[in-house]
A and B are shown apart, each in its own frame.
Chain A
Amino acid sequence: MSRPPPPPPTTNKDQQHQNPSLQEINIKLIQSGEKERLKELLRERLLECGWIDEMKALCRAFTRKKGRNNVTVDDLVHVISPKGRASVPNSVKAELLQRIRAFLASTAD
């Protein structure tokens, strides 16, 4: 079974246009103000689906267990991040991804 030859390595110039780095995307989003709009949209969606309430409840439970004075912000972030990331509904992820794609397409050079 022979495989087709691997595609030729793209030049630096092509790379920049076809696969913008995360950094570049981020800067574009910030400078156009789209990042703030996306953040706001995300906040709204996560509120609607109860995700924010769930995270609040997790934080409360953790704080109650450890004691109010023994908990730091870093602790809380550490505790809820894995569960938080995992429980974002797929529909929300899809919507935001779609928005970002659309934005990038509309601002492509």
Chain B
Amino acid sequence: MSSKINGHVSPQPCPHLLDFRSRNGPKPFRALHDCIRVKPPGGCAAIRREPSEVPRCGTCEESSRSRLYACVACAAVFCHAPLLHSHASDHALSIPGHEIAVDVDRAELFCCACGDQVYDRDFDAAVVLAQTVNATATTSTSGSTAMQCSVAGSQPENLRKRRRVDYRPWEPDSGEHISRGNQSIPLLDATNASLVSSTQQPWGLRGLNNLGNTCFMNSILQALLHTPPLRNYFLGDRHNRYYCQQKNGAINGTKNSRLCLACDMDAIFSAVFSGDRTPYSPAKFLYSWWQHAANLASYEQQDAHEFFISMLEGIHEKVEKDKRKSQSPGGGDCCIAHRVFSGILRSDVMCMVCGFTSTTYDPCVDISLDLEPNQGGSGKSSSAKSLNSCNVEADCMHPNQNGGISTLNGCLERFTRAEKLGSDQKFFCQKCQVRQESLKQMSIRKLPLVSCFHVKRFEHSSIRKMSRKVDRFLQFPFSLDMAPYLSSSILRSRFGNRIFPFDGDEQDASNDLSTEFELFAVVTHSGRLDAGHYVTYLRLSNQWYKCDDAWITQVNESIVRAAQGYMMFYVQKVLYYKESENQGTS
């Protein structure tokens, strides 16, 4: 009984609804629009002729039954409790044309003859619009976040954890223990002194020398060296630098090695994972990157985030232009950089006058988040737009809801909150054919393998001709569930069970890859904007290591929690292996 219209699944109307429409025109529920009332605190929509009306069944005077329906044709209210009695059904069957009714407490259309819900796009749009307007008009003083009228989104984390089976790391049983020891040598063996230091540090930990204010590069490199899918790609010889250079040297006919950032990455991976613990100088890589990003080639301190974006671009560009692979970053098939980091963001812009929504999808390799502006701060921040990363205008003046501490989840919640576009940013509505005030909401359509969150700590104000750094502390979790920020969750909490045009395949996000992420690297910045230092913290074998240029030290996790996060790297939990801490012991 359902059909696809332009890719949207909607149930076929029942014969009574069809009949009703044929008699009252294609938009027969217009009269109800004025009766839509949105009730605090939950923001649920109800139908009332007057705001204080108490609906009663016309037959039995009951007002406390849970389902009361108002006949759309004659506005009479009846109760509906099919097991006991249904005065609504009685009414429907007694007068032809009076089968369609509306649930007065839920604002849902119902056919009393069929005993089932029916849907009208126009009506649902009006309900959603009313809820939206209500939600953005009221400042949320109660704990509920804006745009949530149903319980669907309020506390998914608790319930998800309850329902899933807990992750249990594998432990070898006695038989496996024996076969492990048989004919195999533990990698980190104290007798193999040449390969490992006595402190038994994990593989791939090697300091990087500072070549002159290059801590911005070192910090990002350290994070990338331990990004699981990227590490696996390079260590798995998926980009062999010798082969690549040979092949491209032959094509170009030049003896000089062709510029390829991926080859240089391959070289760094080999060096860092070689087992040699002396600090390494990534000079070749720096030189290559200078050639790629000529405008940034200097010994001045650069922004680590800018470097990150530029590097990913560099890997993307220099990838062998294979005609079979698509070039669009959204698909993630173009290069390893996008395969690992590229996700898809969805942007919905809704006209506040007619409800028409325009949806666009954009790929992104990271998410830039605003910290809340300080009370009485310097107004809007407009950070420089970098390619392929998504920025959010600092528009909200909502006070912090967590009692003073900014959290990553708070930033993400703000990122996906519906924002009213200012009157100077009116959006052209295709239905109204004029510029109208609009509501914009971001959500994540597709999660990347690795989520990089960039905290916008550097504000560049072109108006005041100055830049400043925001030192405000941001709390970030070690485990992160991105489910509430997915398009499916955001849309579900916006629309509830309305039939409304959105892509059919948004609905089953639970079938996709997991939404659970684990933190594995944090790039921190300390000091001032013009005189600062980048340091990266890495999480290996559930231990934290501080990578400060050439010096690597083990640190307690509390140090990491207290650090000033600038970029946080999370990998999908399924790709994150919690190695046992005692490697090599039987």
Contacts and interface: CB of A to CB of B under 8 A. Distances in A.
Interface in A27-78: 27, 30-31, 33, 36-37, 39-40, 43-44, 47-48, 50, 52-53, 68-69, 72-75, 77-78
A75 B115 CA distance: 8
Contacts of B585: none
A40 B115 contact: no
A47 B154 contact: yes
Nearest to B103: A73
A7 B2 CA distance: 63
Contacts of A39: 42, 44
B154 A44 contact: yes
Contact of B42 (A23, A36, A52, A81): A36
B162 A50 contact: yes
Contacts of A69: 1-2
Contact of A30 (B41, B54, B62, B151): B54
Contacts of B61: 23
B116 A74 contact: yes
A30 to B, nearest CB: 5
A22 B42 contact: no
B165 interface: no
A64 to B, nearest CB: 15
Contacts of A22: 64
Contact of A52 (B82, B114, B151): B151
A87 interface: no
A53 B40 contact: no
A36 B64 contact: no
Contact of A36 (B39, B54, B110): B39
A48 B155 contact: yes
A78 B54 contact: no
A16 interface: no
Interface string A74-89: 1101100100000000
A81 B159 CA distance: 22
Provide the main secondary structure of the chain A interface: helix
Contacts of B63: 23, 26-27, 30
Contacts of B151: 43-44, 47, 52
Interface string B135-165: 0000000000000000100110011001100
Interface residues of B, number: 27
B41 A53 contact: no
A25 to B, nearest CB: 8
Contacts of A33: 40
A99 B506 CA distance: 39
B463 interface: no
A72 B114 contact: yes
Nearest to B115: A74
Nearest to B81: A77
A53 B163 contact: yes
B103 to A, nearest CB: 10
A26 B61 CA distance: 12
A72 B116 CA distance: 5
Interface in B282-319: none
B159 A50 contact: yes
Contacts of A68: 1-2
B406 interface: no
Interface string B112-130: 0011110000000000000
Contact of B54 (A27, A37, A43, A81): A27
19 contacts: A23-B62, A23-B63, A26-B54, A30-B54, A36-B42, A47-B151, A47-B159, A48-B155, A50-B159, A52-B151, A53-B163, A72-B114, A73-B110, A73-B115, A73-B116, A74-B82, A75-B115, A77-B82, A81-B83
Interface of A: 22-23, 26-27, 30-31, 33, 36-37, 39-40, 43-44, 47-48, 50, 52-53, 68-69, 72-75, 77-78, 81
Given A27-B54, A73-B115, 10 more contacts: A23-B61, A23-B64, A26-B54, A30-B63, A36-B40, A72-B116, A73-B110, A75-B115, A78-B83, A81-B83
Q: Which 4 A-B pairs have CB atoms at the shortest separation, nearest pair first?
A: A72-B116, A74-B115, A26-B64, A69-B1
